Amino acid sequence: MADQPDQIILRSLQQGNKDAIGIFIDRYQTMLFNFAYRFLNDYDLAADVCQFAFIQLFLHSTELRSEEGIKPWLFRVVRHRCLDEVRRRKALPFSMLDSANDHDDRQLGMENIPDSQPTPEARIEEDELQSVLVAAIDALPEKFREVVRLRYTADLSFAEIGKILDIPEATAKTHFHRAKPLLRATLQRYGLARSQ
Amino acid sequence: MPDWNNDTFDDIDQLFARLPTVEPPASLKRNVLSSLSAPYIASSAAKPAARRKIFVQGLLTPRGWQWLAIMTGIIFFAGSIWLGSSLDSSGFLSLLGEISGNLGSLGSSSYDYGSALFGAAPWAELAVTLVSLVLFMMASSITIDVKAQKPINFDQAMLRKR
């Protein structure tokens, strides 16, 4: 069953087969997690959000229409949950934000990223690049940010992005291409992109 | 994979392609599957009535339901006082007293008494009191219900156990 399309597995889940949720987890956890992780910059919180999404899938499986698509649905749930977490963070008192930032390594998930770099210097450079890239996305206007984040962190097509954000595919493409010059301007300040 | 064939893969795309894929924790799947076995989740998934309950509960956060219960309780209390005062000032209570003193003529004059009561009733005050009562009962019931349930382990501290 693991190779079956989502619609078949959804039907199985709707009929009460709990193993089906395991297949959806195997299929989508990495891309969902990466999207949530880049959104929240918090490894544990990203894991919590993804767990929430899969549990919601289990609870609401009978309400889903097979043509709706499991992947866009899961991304929508994760996105809404991430937005809620960001809003919640903004409401936190400053002192709590300070303590939440104490474990920078944990937030960046450095301890969980396999150490495939040959030298510590190369690893620091890659970590700094990651931070700059994520910060460049975060600096975008909101409507561009969402599209770019889904494109770069989750490797989604514009059609899929359109379904998740409930916008036409062409609009998603336009937002992405309009975001590119803004990203380029930000990255040029770090000497990471060439001028056009 | 994105449809790069339909887009120019430029230097910006190349930079972002260097964002590594971060593996989710190995416990993610295990945590989800063990959560599904929790009685609250399992029964909620099985019963439409329980799912409707989840839907209603999900309209507000637990704290939101608490505040709604408090506010509607206050409104109900104030509304009751207001209703009592209006019942007296509108003559409704004295009309009821008159009716209870003339029960013998109730059969022949029921229409007259009914229309008099209908005209004298403070409907706005009654509506506010009743609605606030219903909302108070619903909100306090949900608040008690949520507190009594075993919490779904979305709590970060619990999920950090590996």
Are B2 and A156 a contacting pair at CB < 8 A? Answer: yes
Answer yes or no: do A108 and A136 share one domain.
Answer: no
Rg (CA), chain A: 18
Determine the pLDDT at residue A105: 41
A72 and A17 in a single domain? The answer is yes
If asked whether residues A105 and A132 sit together in one domain, one would say no
Could you give the maximum distance between any two Cα atoms of chain A, in Å?
56
Interface probe, candidates A13, A48, A123, A194, chain B, greatest B C-beta count within 10 A: A48
A124 with A85, same domain: the answer is no
Q: What is the C-alpha separation between B40 and A56, in angstroms, rounded?
A: 13
Question: Across the interface, which of B32, B44, B45 has its CB nearest the CB of A51?
Answer: B32
Contacts 24+ apart (CB under 8 A), B95-98: B95/B120
Closest partner residue to B29 (CB to CB) among A25, A45, A151 is: A25
In chain B, the percentage of residues whose pLDDT exceeds 70 is 70
Residues A107 and A131 in one domain: no
Q: Which residue of A has its CA nearest to B157?
A: A44
Answer yes or no: do B28 and A126 touch at CB < 8 A: no
Which residue of B lies nearest to A185 if distances are taken between CA atoms? Answer: B12
Distance of residue A135 Cα from the nearest chain B Cα, in angstroms: 12
Task: Report the gap between the CA of B152 and the closest CA in chain A (Å).
Answer: 10
Q: Do A94 and A152 fall within a single domain?
A: no
Reported ipTM: the value is 0.74
**pLDDT, tens digit, for every residue of B34-62?**
888 765 555 555 455 555 555 566 677 77
Domain range annotation of chain B: 60-159
Indicate the pTM of the whole model: 0.58
Residues A109 and A122 in one domain: no
Residue B9's pLDDT band (cuts 50, 70, 90): confident
Profile chain A (196 residues) by mean pLDDT over runs of 10 residues.
Answer: 84 84 94 93 94 92 77 93 87 51 43 51 72 90 92 91 93 94 89 70
The residue from A65, A92, A113 where one domain ends is A113
Cβ–Cβ contact A190 with B under 8 A: no
A96 and A131, same structural domain? no
- Answer yes or no: do A122 and A69 share one domain: no
CB contact under 8 A, A126 and B18: yes
Contact A58 B41 (CB under 8 A): yes
CA distance A154 to chain B (A): 9
DSSP conformation class of A2: T
How far is the C-alpha of A168 from the C-alpha of B109, rounded, in Å? Answer: 68
B94 Cβ contact partners less than 8 Å away, ≥ 6 residues apart: none
Query: Tens digits of per-residue pLDDT, B59-113?
Result: 777 788 888 999 999 999 999 999 999 988 888 888 888 888 877 777 777 788 7
Together in a domain, A3 and A29: yes
Phi and psi angles of residue A166, each rounded to the nearest 5 degrees, phi first: 60, 45
Structural domain count, chain A: 2
Q: Which of A85, A113, A141 is the last residue of a domain?
A: A113
Residues A14, B33: Cα–Cα separation, whole Å: 16
Phi and psi for A102 in degrees, rounded to 5?
-60, -35
Tell me which residue range forms the domain holding A137.
Answer: 118-196
CA within 13 Å, CB half, A123: 10
Q: Of A53, A83, A113, which residue is a domain's last?
A: A113
Q: Does A183 touch chain B (CB under 8 A)?
A: yes
B84 vs B89: CA distance, rounded Å: 9
Burial A78-109 (b: 16+ CB within 10 A, else e): bbebbeebeeeeeeeeeeeeeeeeeeeeebbb
